[in-house]
Structure 1
Amino acid sequence: MSQQERITEIKQLLETKHELKTGYLVKHFKVSNDTVRRDILKLVQTGQAIRIYGGIAALNLTGVPEYLTRTHILSTIKIAMAKLAAQLINSPGLYFLGTSTTLVQMGQYIDQNGVTITTNSIDNVVSFIQNRKLKVEIIGGTVDNLNRYTYSMTALSEIRNLTFKKVFIGASGITAQGAFVINENDANLIRKVIQQSQQVILIAENYKFGNQASPYKLCDCQDVDILITDKSLTKSAEKWFKPKLRILRV
């Protein structure tokens, strides 16, 4: 059995058991402790589960963690994807970055003068203002304390007067129906930003494809111009997107 097959089965087990001990997984798969530890590390690093003493646990009953939970997940994959995304900010202009634990890491890797970053993410502002080459603007409104973004009906109106060179979005689930997130207000704002953007860049790890746990749609897959991910898409997933989709892999 391959690592990906074991990881898929571990995720299925977590849906019912919620916690799994390392010893249980060793016996279940008939593999070594080191093999199970590598499987656990893969799940934790990609944000699919959390490490607990002696094993692994589900993030929550839906499999989709809230933003504050995800900020504590250290992922080399997220850093590599952030570096790739930062390279796409390669000319002066106005860019929008959504709320994402991957996107928030882009700030230190952007090396372009004349760039203005607009965002609704509090953590994006904190991160990006440390890069002195960037001008940073935050969308005003009410603060969602748990997911750390701002939202208001006024902001939706103001966005209609802006044109963004590129919008960078994250998603907690991607299906044939589109890209989805778990927060309604965030989805409402990002949908409006996408309408005002010349190019749409989606950043999503491979495990999020086929995940239907998130209810609020950001966009159709056909709206995406560039996809940044960590593994090749399946043939069926490739068909969700337009033929000219540009895929960047870490």
Structure 2
Amino acid sequence: IMSEFGVSQDTARRDIVLLSRRGEVKRTHGGILPLDFGNKVPNFQSRLSRFTKQKTKIALEAANYFQAHHVYFVDASTILLKTCQNINLPMTIITHSLDNCTALAEENKVTVKVLSGILDHQNRFFYSTAAISELDNIALDTAFIAASGIDEHGIYLLNQEDAEIVGKAVERARRVILVAEHHKFINNSYYSICSPEKISVFITDKVLSERERAIFPESTKIQLAGELD
């Protein structure tokens, strides 16, 4: 808090106490959390407004995995939106994200295909059975996916329509790259995209515990954002 807002330790502590007394946050060892932390995934615009330095590092790390003349699926997420804003190579990107499409429209080297469907206004992605059929006819080099929850059984999203489209992209991809902050291991989400065995690379912001690492197969590369190989 001191670093993020440029305030003294006394000011940070005073603000934490005030927010806690108001019942707006819950105290934890060494900090505070939103009251709904782990129980609710905010909508797209809310997540975008909370964009952190850690997310930026993950996004820029993901950008390093794009190569010219490949075909990619890019999921609808705030991290991957930032990634899209930092690539401009001759490649094809398929997405169901309104914001990814807008960002990539500025990069004239990228061929963009937007999956058809109805716009989910809250989460800003298109969905339809036709979109799933479109993916059935495409061989993807890599699918870049995000997650709102991770556990030993799978990678999850909160929205069923979103999960169905992303899950189909995973099926059609030769390689799957997951981008997610470490705290997604404790988020509660409902709709599975795929099993952890499908993940080729996991880009995150903190070292995994032994239990968390064991969720993924040994073949999965764990890449810490901003860390050189």
TM-score relative to the length of structure 1: 0.76
Give CA-to-partner distance per residue, 1:203-243, whole Å, 9 cap, x none.
Answer: 011111133x1100011011100000001111011111111
State the Cα distance separating 1:58 from its structure 2 match. Answer: 3.5
- Once residues 24 and 100 of structure 2 are traced to their aligned partners in structure 1, the CA distance between those partners, rounded to angstroms, is 32
> Are residues 1:214 and 2:189 paired?
yes
In the alignment, which residue of structure 1 is the partner of 2:203? Answer: 228
Which structure exhibits the higher relative contact order, with contacts defined as CA atoms closer than 8 Å and separated by 6 or more residues? 2
In the alignment, which residue of structure 1 is the partner of 2:132? Answer: 156
- Once residues 183 and 198 of structure 1 are traced to their aligned partners in structure 2, the CA distance between those partners, rounded to angstroms, is 24
CA 1:97–1:215: 2 relative to 1, 3 Å: same
Q: Give secondary structure in 2 for the equivalent of 1:135.
A: strand
State the Cα distance separating 1:90 from its structure 2 match. Answer: 1.9
| AA of the residue aligned to 1:243 | E
**How many pairs align?**
206
State the Cα distance separating 1:136 from its structure 2 match. Answer: 1.2
Would you say the 8 A contact 2:115–2:134 is kept in 1?
Answer: no
Where structure 2 has 5 or more consecutive residues not aligned to the other structure, the ranges are: 1-15
State the Cα distance separating 1:71 from its structure 2 match. Answer: 1.5
- Once residues 78 and 184 of structure 1 are traced to their aligned partners in structure 2, the CA distance between those partners, rounded to angstroms, is 24
> Are residues 1:74 and 2:79 paired?
no
Q: Give secondary structure in 2 for the equivalent of 1:102.
A: helix
> Are residues 1:20 and 2:20 paired?
no
- Once residues 94 and 208 of structure 2 are traced to their aligned partners in structure 1, the CA distance between those partners, rounded to angstroms, is 30
Give CA-to-partner distance per residue, 1:155-189, whole Å, 9 cap, x none.
Answer: 11121110111000000110011111110000011
In the alignment, which residue of structure 2 is the partner of 1:173? Answer: 149
State the Cα distance separating 1:149 from its structure 2 match. Answer: 0.4
- Once residues 128 and 59 of structure 1 are traced to their aligned partners in structure 2, the CA distance between those partners, rounded to angstroms, is 33
| AA of the residue aligned to 2:176 | V
> Are residues 1:101 and 2:78 paired?
yes
- Once residues 120 and 233 of structure 1 are traced to their aligned partners in structure 2, the CA distance between those partners, rounded to angstroms, is 30
- Once residues 198 and 18 of structure 1 are traced to their aligned partners in structure 2, the CA distance between those partners, rounded to angstroms, is 48
User: Deviating runs (4+, > 4 A) in structure 1?
Assistant: none
TM-score relative to the length of structure 2: 0.83
Would you say the 8 A contact 1:59–1:65 is kept in 2?
Answer: no
> Are residues 1:241 and 2:216 paired?
yes
In the alignment, which residue of structure 2 is the partner of 1:110? Answer: 87
Would you say the 8 A contact 1:104–1:123 is kept in 2?
Answer: yes
State the Cα distance separating 1:76 from its structure 2 match. Answer: 1.1
Would you say the 8 A contact 2:38–2:186 is kept in 1?
Answer: no
Where structure 1 has 5 or more consecutive residues not aligned to the other structure, the ranges are: 1-9, 30-35, 41-48, 50-56
Would you say the 8 A contact 2:146–2:180 is kept in 1?
Answer: yes
- Choose from 181, 188, 204 the match for 1:205: 181
Percentage of identical aligned residues:
32
Give CA-to-partner distance per residue, 1:70-94, whole Å, 9 cap, x none.
Answer: 1111311111111110110023121
- Once residues 120 and 176 of structure 1 are traced to their aligned partners in structure 2, the CA distance between those partners, rounded to angstroms, is 27
